Amino acid sequence: MPPARPLTLVTGASAGIGAAFARDLAARGHDLILTARRADRLESLADELRTRHGSTVTVLPADLADPQAVKALCEAIAQRGLAVDWLINNAGYGVPGTFEANDWATHEAFIRVLMTAPAELAWRLLPGMRQRGYGRIINVASLAGHVPGSAGHTLYAASKAYLIKFSQSLALENRHVGVHVSALCPGFTWSEFHDVTGTRELMNKLPRFMWQTAEAVVREGYDAVERGEIVHVTGGVNRFIKALTKLLPDRLALWLSARESKRYRALEAN
């Protein structure tokens, strides 16, 4: 049985899908631990959730690109006597440009945030969930993890495909002990993600029907993990794109990816 007030850790909680998860779960009666780099935004969100929902909110700023960040974060949680019931691995960003256009330090930080940190957080928090017989882990992946890679933003689709496969294995290993694991795969989502990567102008060329709000993505993600759905692609349009990609020959799918990616992938590094 879930606790009366589950405690949820949300990474990348300062904006976008992460902030939407925090608001949605607070409204459902969760207490929260919020982490991201921008402490001021976390504190503002924490005040909002305390006032609006009466949630207990702990703010622990961290830069997950730091190799020691996850260990320090989990130690800070343990020192406060807190036990995490829900883990939302949401932190992420994009790196514009082709692979060789960015230095290795940039790629290394990206891999730590989008791949290493989610795995380490799950590894450190999962034993407690298993011992208590209850837990939920949502790894925010992407439709990009299901379709062919594109020129530009080279590691993004690869990192999301990794999260999908990681979630599948983790779910199968833990479903018999009351721990549900789900890879949440949104497509284009209204947030500041594309402002940060400098691709907002390109994004604005895409038709509005291809977009979802962060709130809609979160509602689908919550329902999916609760019913034990291991991989969930949000929105009918995105599910159609995934299904179509699976039906097309690889060669044709890659050709389409190359053609379409010119509309929304920045090939020049900022």
Please give the C-alpha separations between residue 199 and each of 64, 98, 187, in angstroms, as whole numbers.
23, 14, 15
The one catalytic residue among 93, 134, 156, 222 = 156
Domain that holds residue 76: 7-261
CATH code of the domain containing 127: 3.40.50.720
1 in a structural domain: no
112 in a structural domain: yes
Mean pLDDT of the chain: 90
d(CA 91, CA 16) in angstroms, rounded, equals: 10
CA-based Rg of the chain, rounded to a whole angstrom?
Answer: 18
d(CA 14, CA 25) in angstroms, rounded, equals: 15
Q: What would the pLDDT profile of 158-210 be if each residue is shown by its tens digit?
A: 999 999 999 999 999 999 999 999 999 999 886 655 445 444 455 555 556 56
79 in a structural domain: yes
240 in a structural domain: yes
Q: What would the pLDDT profile of 53-91 be if each residue is shown by its tens digit?
A: 999 999 999 999 999 999 999 999 999 999 999 999 999
Q: What would the pLDDT profile of 235-267 be if each residue is shown by its tens digit?
A: 999 999 899 888 888 878 777 776 666 665 554
Residue pair 185/145 in contact by the 8 Å Cβ criterion:
yes
222 in a structural domain: yes
266 in a structural domain: no
156 labelled catalytic = yes
125 in a structural domain: yes
Q: Specify the number of domains making up the chain.
A: 1
Regarding pTM above 0.85, the answer is: yes
270 in a structural domain: no
